[in-house]
Amino acid sequence: MSGIVQSNTVRTSGVIAASSAGLDWSSPVITGSTLSASANAGYWINTTANTCTITLPSPAEVGDQIVFADYARTWGTYKIIIDSNGLNYQGQDDTFIVEYDTSGETVSIVYSGATKGWIPMDDDEVADVPVNTAPTQKGIIAFGEISGAPYYTNNRILINSSGVLASSTSGVGTIKGGIAGAGYGYDKGICSGGSGASTTNLVSNTGVVAADVAGVGTNRNRMCGTTYGGDKGFFGFGNGGGSPNTNITNLVSNLGVVATDVSGIGTARVAPGAATYGSTGQALAAFGGTGSGGYLNVRNLITNQGVMASDISGAGTTQDKHLATRYGTDTSIFVYGQNGTNSDLSTSNKVSNTGVIAADVTGVGTGAYGKTASSFGGDKGIFYGGRNETTATFLTESNIVSNTGVVASSVANSGNTSVLGAAGMGYSQTA
């Protein structure tokens, strides 16, 4: 005994039957071409393979109710046909054809008596169909350093929603390296700073890089960049190519407008990494070099309003050029970089959803510095390029980061760049 109290109706014949509030839906899904329906029951009708002809019960009692539901949203392909079995249907005798042929439809009928017979009380389509709304975010890699004159490029590499890199194509804007990239406006990107030009370049949600725009504030090389607040960007730190390292930051609006310099927070440094974390659009900048062989593992938390906090002791090896990307929904990861002995690293450090940096984890792939990192697919990341100090070579390999923070083995790609800018962009339903 279930303990559930079910309402019941006493028919004029004296038979007790379930009321409309307690329809019997215990029948299995109907896939056949015919059905003999019973009063006060509900039926899931699956017409994926065929039309279904339904014979209504006869005789019927006033108040009898039956519901038919399109189980597989296929009535538009294969309809249902209702045979009223000698009784009237909406006042018409059973010589009239009764059909329902709308996908997603549910039909509820009640017997009103001999004059009008069965009357539909509801025959509406359920129009809203669940859709895959998982973001199919893409990414872009642009600009960077190359081996051989002119030593900089404006080429771009698009990343589809599966993490596949397209071939490098000629880009727009002044050639430059050591730039930073960030997202803004939920689905667009911006590249800023770098050697060779004091300019910024907006990136559309289809990966089109716009022409140069004069930069705002102090032009710096090897800044860090990230998204914060869900739809705004952040650039921080860096130096002026021989000038002292800075702790300057610049916020980017959700329209891609770069604000003037803000300074004075955190240790001045070059080549830190930055990424988002948490559920409300927080971010952090971490690691970096101080010059003269000094390396850091400090972190600076950034609120979802773009306010950066003072240094907090970090975790892991002190290093710079340690790039980061988001993975999952509220976590990020730092991978690769260079330490005080100029050793190329492949270690990784995960960032929790509270901004805590975990200890070093043995890395994957070739040790390198100057890689770039971008999110893609809404919950995954990718690292690309970089330079290996030991072999003095530029790398063309990439490493995908899963939505659980697992760094995959290296994959060879075309291209040949280091110290690039990258950003996730283009949330859509298209790869």
Q: Mean pLDDT of residues grouped by 10 in the chain (431 residues)?
A: 39 46 86 96 95 96 96 92 96 92 94 96 75 63 84 88 87 87 89 83 90 88 91 91 84 94 91 91 93 86 94 89 89 89 85 94 83 87 85 86 92 68 55 42
Residue 75: give its domain's CATH number.
2.60.120.640
Tokens of 88: 């009237």
Q: Do residues 178 and 258 both lie within one domain? A: yes
Last residue of a domain, one of 71, 93, 122: 122
Q: Do residues 241 and 347 both lie within one domain? A: yes
Last residue of a domain, one of 94, 122, 150: 122
pLDDT value for 30: 96
Q: Do residues 152 and 110 both lie within one domain? A: no
CB of 70 within 8 A of CB of 45?
Answer: yes
Q: Do residues 184 and 157 both lie within one domain? A: yes
Residue 117 lies in a domain: yes
Q: How many other β-carbons are positioned within 10 Å of the β-carbon of residue 415? A: 23
| Residue corresponding to tokens 């400090």 | 298
Q: How many domains does the chain have?
A: 2
Residue 128 lies in a domain: no
Q: Do residues 322 and 419 both lie within one domain? A: yes
Residue 129 lies in a domain: no
Residue 2 lies in a domain: no
Residue 378 lies in a domain: yes
Residue 182 lies in a domain: yes
Print the domain residue range for 188: 138-425
In 3D space, the residue among 304, 285, 281 whose CA is nearest the CA of residue 296 turns out to be 285
Q: How many other β-carbons are positioned within 10 Å of the β-carbon of residue 303? A: 15
pLDDT value for 6: 39
Residue 430 lies in a domain: no
User: Quick one: 312 exposed, middle or buried, by C-beta within 10 A (0-12, 13-18, 19+)?
Assistant: middle
Residue 3 lies in a domain: no
Residue 402: give its domain's CATH number.
2.120.10.80
Last residue of a domain, one of 63, 98, 122: 122
Q: Do residues 164 and 109 both lie within one domain? A: no
- What spatial distance separates the first Cα and last Cα of the chain, rounded to whole Å? 53
What are residue 302's DSSP bridge partners?
Answer: 283, 308
Q: Do residues 421 and 285 both lie within one domain? A: yes
Q: Do residues 208 and 296 both lie within one domain? A: yes
Sequential DSSP letters for 163-194: SPBPPPB--SS--BBS-EEEEETTTEEEEE--
Q: Do residues 73 and 143 both lie within one domain? A: no
pLDDT value for 280: 86
pLDDT value for 423: 65
Q: Give the Cα separation of 239 and 272 in Å (integer).
A: 11
- The radius of gyration of the chain from alpha carbons, rounded to an integer in Å, stands at 32
